[in-house]
Copies of this chain bind each other. A is one copy, B any other.
Amino acid sequence: MIADFQEWARGRQECIETSLQSLLPAATIAPERLHGSMRYAVLGGGKRVRPLLAFAAGELSGASEERVTIVAAAVELIHAYSLVHDDLPCMDDDILRRGKPTCHVEYDEATALLVGDSLQSLAFELLTGSQLADTPQVQLNMIKRLAQAAGSRGMAGGQAIDLANVGKTLNLPELEFMHIHKTGALIRAAVMLGAHCGNNLNDGELESLDHFAEHIGLAFQVVDDVLDAEATTATLGKTAGKDAEHNKPTYVSILGVSRARELAEELRHEAYQSLEGFDGTAVRLRQVTDFIIQREF
């Protein structure tokens, strides 16, 4: 089963990499430096967790791989843009990402700013370029969902809450509120957009899936905090220990490593329970869940 998952995941990761390569403008098209830096920021790195979730949710809803690939690419572009902007000196001021110099270090700050801005536009452009759902109205709803997940009441809002919280003591509900926005919203969008590419889920099933996505989003962040506290920079491919260094509240700073690991297990259990109404079609979602909890980078 694990070998089977690894093969499936590798296949999907290759698929998303190939698609991103062709969907991103070539570095030979003007403005060349901008297009080159967009490719630098997106290609050849990352676990592609959000695309894997979109593909797994697509299997649940009978979606075609062609449709899910575009949706997964759009979500990954939003994620990549957020990393480029988060790494800027006025935000986290980080120099290492996915084992490479961050975009503003490799290029310059102004270019990194425009890279993020352009990747966001491209994500929405992708969602309009081909048929991604059974009706254009469903496709409009998918765009709405991604826009909300990315915006001030989603991911960007989570970043703002994160900034406001530096140096503060948070309790668990406050930390959870931040992460539901900062990482949770986009992970949830990845799952739901993948599902909306297909058509065989009823409203109750979509609700269960959304419940699953909410919990897996939190679990992802809990594990991220544990890894940041325990891993080395080499394993992580980004600067390790920076949460503590920046005096940022994390699941580890509030709960300690041991209790944070328990919490991740509880969230996995809850996520699994949300999938109980589904038959074998949910096998990939369960496997991606395990991958998220057990990953070491």
Contacts and interface: CB of A to CB of B under 8 A. Distances in A.
A281 interface: no
Interface of A: 25, 29-31, 33-35, 38, 81, 85, 88, 90-91, 108-111, 113-114, 116-118, 120-122, 124-125, 127-129, 135-137, 139-141, 143-144, 146-148, 150-154, 156-157, 159-161, 163-164
Can you tell how many copies of this chain the complex includes? 2
Q: Which of A30, A121, A129, A148 gathers the greatest number of chain B CB atoms within 10 Å?
A: A121
The 3 A-B residue pairs with the shortest CB-CB distance in the complex, in nearest-first order: A121-B151, A136-B136, A90-B109
A109 B163 CA distance: 11
Nearest to A145: B128
Contact of A152 (B35, B109, B136, B161): B35
B113 A152 contact: no
A123 to B, nearest CB: 8
A150 B117 CA distance: 9
Contact of A90 (B110, B120, B146): B110
A256 B137 CA distance: 51
A164 B33 contact: yes
Contacts of A163: 110-111, 114
A136 B125 contact: no
12 contacts: A31-B164, A81-B117, A85-B113, A90-B109, A114-B156, A117-B156, A118-B156, A120-B121, A121-B147, A121-B152, A125-B144, A136-B140
Contacts of A135: 136
Given A33-B160, A114-B152, A117-B156, 17 more contacts: A31-B157, A33-B164, A34-B156, A85-B117, A90-B110, A91-B110, A91-B113, A113-B113, A114-B159, A118-B152, A121-B147, A121-B150, A122-B152, A125-B144, A127-B143, A128-B140, A140-B143
Nearest to A138: B136
Contacts of A111: 160, 163
B144 A122 contact: no
